Amino acid sequence: MATPVPRFREKAQVLDDAALDRALTRIAHEILEKNGGASDVAFVGLRTRGVTLAQRLAAKIAQIDGAALPVGTLDITLYRDDLGLRGAPLIRGTDIPFSIKNKTVILVDDVLFTGRTVRAALDAIIDLGRPKAIQLAILIDRGHRELPIRPDYVGKNLPTSRRESVAVRLREHDGEDRVVIEEPEEA
């Protein structure tokens, strides 16, 4: 049946809860600065943790600016270039209950690695309409890009080796706010 998933152990903590919160606060300010305010800005989070981060960024902007920005959920499974290589796809659905036409869409994800997920997300968003612009907000940029994609907002640049993995743990899913680097146990 399925090949056993390699077990990972924690190697180092990268962000604690206070540092994670500061990074999000800074990104919220940068979004407002870069776009000259919050008008016509909308968030689209990538399932699962990107959605949570997008909701937190929207809440921060509501505190700073008073603007209630819409947050949508994007499932990019149908757009993956490795669909079929990983066994049966699990579709959890896209839910973007607003028009993205002429909006500045801030695409949010937890970790930026090869860039292939973002490539798929760009295709998925453009299939839904023609936004004015798409900007990319990422909590952890771990390098190793395979496509010409760069983020507009970064929480932390984190040089990693390919065999390591970055785990973003968020209160809503994991009971804690923390980012750690993990390495395979049999190493």
Residues that bind another protein (CB under 8 A): 1-2, 75, 77-79, 83-95, 123-124, 127-129
- For another protein, which is the closer residue by CB, 71 or 138? 71
- Whole-angstrom CA distances from 183 to 32, 159, 163 are 36, 14, 7
- For another protein, which is the closer residue by CB, 25 or 77? 77
CB of 91 to another protein, least distance (A): 4
CB of 79 to another protein, least distance (A): 6
- For another protein, which is the closer residue by CB, 93 or 148? 93
- For another protein, which is the closer residue by CB, 93 or 159? 93
Burial environment of residue 106 by CB neighbours within 10 A (0 to 12, 13 to 18, 19 or more): buried
CB of 75 to another protein, least distance (A): 7
Q: What are phi and psi of 77, to 5 degrees?
A: -55, -40
CB of 118 to another protein, least distance (A): 16
Q: Which of 115, 106, 111, 99 is nearest to 44 (CA)?
A: 106
Q: Dihedral (C-alpha) 53, 56, 58, 61: value to the nearest 10 degrees?
A: -130
Contact predicate 137/106, CB 8 Å: yes
Residue at 52: amino acid letter? T
CB of 9 to another protein, least distance (A): 26
